[in-house]
Amino acid sequence: MEHRNLLEQQEPCMADDRHVATPDLPQQLRVRPSTLGITYCVLSAVFYALMGVCQRELSKDCDPVWVNCVQASVSTVVFGVYLTLRSIRGRSAWPPKAVALGLMALGVATQLGGSSYQWSLGVIGLAIGNALQMGVMLAAAALLGWLVLGERVSWRGMTAIMLITVSVLLLSYGAEAANKTQHPTGPGEAVAESVTGKAVAGARSSDDAEQSKLGPQTDGSNRAAPAGMLRVLLGVGAACFSGVAFAILTVGMRKTATANTSPEAIVFFINLMGILFLGPWALARLGSEGIAATSPRDLTVMLATGACNLLAFLLLAKALQLTTVVRVNVINNALTTILTVVAGVAIFAEPSSRELAIGILLTLAGIVLISSNEAEEAGQVSSAATIEVQK
């Protein structure tokens, strides 16, 4: 689960026209806060893209629930230690019990979304999967904000939703080619070497042996096409469900978390469910032997996924202190999408197509429009508050 949408409630430091206080440095070496903010934002996008690369690598032969469980443990341990040390020093940042329980409930939905996304990467690839997740998340957040919170959706937001809807259709159309590239021998054989895939392969071998006694099959190719298409549709649906889950998280935090709830506490309780909820589920899926059979390389990549997510979050939090929310959202979301598409095509040889290119462009346009819509709403809220104070 990516932490970027956990920071939307943070107030940025509007310091575009000031310089960082560095009195000991020559004038030419002083850097604007906005420039530093953009630098942190770009670095955050790079780490989010690296996280996507790790997830895509793990999608080949690792159980998605187990991957998400290990990934979530990194942020859980780091922020758990941080919050505990603050409490020992008398500066507790733990939220009230009701808020913590609400965040844990949101964490269940979020971890389900993260596991779905992890599985979808092995079906439709990183380039299409990330774009689908990002686009659906932005559109669903706008719609849920209107339905649940009563937030107004401007013409920019409506246009963005329509553009993203078209991009989802285009990306879905290109998903079948991505699936064929990843599974040239058929969608079933790709899981044969994984921990869970070995059991599936064994069952398939038994079925094949029984079938050989009954005679040759004449309609195998006819059944393979519908099965492959169903798998593609499930992969697209899983990526879209992940986007909806993260949108629920964004809107749910606005209803659950108070203004004094620290982002560290939010991240801790959301990721805690990766251990409490996904841990037993992974154990039931794989068994203790299956979990113990995780190779050191795969375990290292899982932990690296969590570390990239954590570093990206910290850099994004720093960027929000130095520049505007709109600038951060546009740069971070757009650059992450672009970098993951490039990684999918360049590193994993995922197919590039006209549908993919147009779908990505429409998603980027939607990101810009939704971000400008948020800026408009923020400006209206600020103006209303100013008028109220003047009264």
DSSP character string of 194-237:
SHHHHHHHHHHHHHHHHHHHH---SSHHHHHHHHHHHHHHHHHH
Helices 296-322, 33-58: crossing angle, 10 deg rounding: 160
Q: What is the pTM of this model?
A: 0.78
Give the whole-angstrom CA distance, residue 47 versus residue 312.
5
Of how many residues is the chain composed?
Answer: 391
pLDDT at 304: 97
For the CA atoms of 310, 112, 8, 160, the dihedral, rounded to the nearest 10 degrees, stands at: 120
pLDDT at 326: 75
Per-residue pLDDT of the chain (391 residues; tens, 9 = 90+): 566 656 554 444 433 433 444 445 555 556 677 788 888 999 999 999 999 999 999 998 899 999 999 999 999 999 999 999 999 998 888 999 999 999 999 999 999 999 999 999 999 999 889 989 988 998 898 888 888 888 777 787 788 888 888 888 888 776 666 666 666 655 444 444 444 444 334 434 444 444 444 455 445 555 555 667 888 899 999 999 999 999 999 888 887 776 678 888 999 999 999 999 999 999 999 999 999 999 999 999 999 999 999 999 999 888 888 877 778 888 888 889 889 989 998 999 888 888 888 888 888 888 888 777 665 555 544 433 333 333 3
- Output the furthest CA–CA distance in the chain (Å, rounded): 88
> 115 vs 148, 155, 308, 321, CA distance in Å?
25, 34, 17, 31
